[in-house]
């Protein structure tokens, strides 16, 4: 991206990014034409290329913006004060709900970034930084409640649970290169089965049904 110095130019840039997200969500990155993005942003192709060298540079900008927004949302979602007194099962349920909500809004963008990661290490590194930051916060929440865990090696069990959930969520949200039957189940069923699985592995009580 070339530098943007004026407020008006910044608004134009944001419109282009917003429009690009919509077009990519509708058509996928490969079929997202620059002309369509510019038109959706009430701008021109020339303006697009004054901001971005090519579509790859656009994807970098979108991915960076997603990372910033994700961090801000993550800070609220995993804040220790939010989960004061909450058991492990409730924390994991909150994490799954958060991940599904975030993933629904960015799945097309993340699929494009995943493809680009094979050719551009910056995409892969940006994604892994987010994963490491999220897992670190979750690890702290779970470790603080390690006395709840019945597994004989709580530290190892926590790592397995974090990686299992990351993989299963990627399959569920269709941002994995692997195909999965998980796309056919409802979010409620996915969450229920995942919580049953990880709670049994950790040997912690499952979530309490709010209707009980």
Q: How far apart are CA 44 and CA 19, in angstroms?
A: 12
Residues 94 and 130 in one domain: yes
pLDDT given for residue 109 in this prediction: 86
At 210, is the pLDDT very low, low, confident or very high (cuts 50, 70, 90)? very low
Residues 103 and 121 in one domain: yes
Q: What is the pLDDT of residues 148-189, one digit of tens each?
A: 999 999 999 999 999 999 999 988 888 877 778 878 889 999
Q: What is the pLDDT of residues 37-50, one digit of tens each?
A: 999 999 999 999 99
Both tokens of 206, joined, read 């499952």
Q: How far apart are CA 24 and CA 33, in angstroms?
A: 9
* Average pLDDT of the segment spanning 107-116: 84
Residues 173 and 191 in one domain: yes
Residue identified by tokens 């002309």 is 35
pLDDT given for residue 105 in this prediction: 82
Q: How far apart are CA 157 and CA 84, in angstroms?
A: 22
Residues 148 and 177 in one domain: yes
- Name the residue among 211, 175, 205 with its Cα closest to residue 86: 205
Residues 76 and 173 in one domain: yes
At 2, is the pLDDT very low, low, confident or very high (cuts 50, 70, 90)? low
- Residue 24, domain CATH: 1.10.10.60
- Residue 177, domain CATH: 1.10.357
Determine the structural domain holding residue 134 and report its residue range: 59-202
pLDDT given for residue 16 in this prediction: 95
Q: How far apart are CA 168 and CA 147, in angstroms?
A: 26
Both tokens of 132, joined, read 């490491």
Tell me the whole-structure pTM to 2 decimals: 0.83
Q: Does residue 108 lie within any of the structural domains?
A: yes
Residues 174 and 156 in one domain: yes
Average confidence score pLDDT of the chain: 89
The domain boundary residue, chosen from 53, 72, 95: 53
Q: Is the pLDDT of residue 3 over 70?
A: no
Q: Is the pLDDT of residue 197 over 50?
A: yes
Q: Does residue 209 lie within any of the structural domains?
A: no
Q: Is the pLDDT of residue 211 over 60?
A: no
The domain boundary residue, chosen from 53, 81, 96: 53
Residues 38 and 20 in one domain: yes
- Name the residue among 132, 144, 129 with its Cα closest to residue 87: 144
Q: Is the pLDDT of residue 212 over 80?
A: no
The set of residues, in sequence order, having a beta carbon less than 8 Å from that of 191 and lying 6+ positions away, is 93, 96, 97, 100
Q: Where would I find the beta strands (DSSP E) of the chain? A: none
Residues 120 and 170 in one domain: yes
Q: How far apart are CA 110 and CA 108, in angstroms?
A: 5
């Amino acid at each position: 991206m070339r530098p943007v110095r004026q407020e008006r130019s910044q608004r134009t840039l944001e419109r282009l990014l917003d429009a690009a997200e919509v077009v990519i969500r509708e058509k996928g990155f490969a079929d997202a034409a620059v002309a369509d993005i510019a038109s959706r942003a009430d701008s021109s192709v020339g303006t697009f290329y004054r901001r971005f060298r090519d579509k790859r540079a656009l994807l970098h900008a979108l991915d960076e913006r997603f990372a910033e927004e994700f961090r801000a949302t993550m800070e609220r979602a995993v804040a220790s004060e939010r989960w004061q007194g909450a058991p492990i099962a409730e924390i994991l349920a909150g994490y799954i709900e958060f991940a599904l909500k975030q993933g629904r809004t960015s799945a097309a963008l993340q699929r494009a970034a995943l493809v680009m990661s094979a050719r551009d290490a910056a995409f892969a590194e940006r994604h892994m930084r987010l994963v490491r930051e999220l897992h670190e916060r979750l690890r702290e929440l779970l470790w603080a409640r390690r006395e709840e865990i019945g597994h004989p090696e709580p530290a190892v069990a926590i790592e397995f649970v974090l990686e299992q959930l990351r993989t299963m969520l990627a399959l569920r949200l269709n941002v994995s290169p692997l195909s999965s039957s998980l796309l056919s189940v409802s979010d409620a069923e996915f969450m229920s089965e995942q919580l049953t699985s990880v709670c049994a592995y950790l040997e912690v009580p499952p979530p309490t049904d709010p209707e009980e």
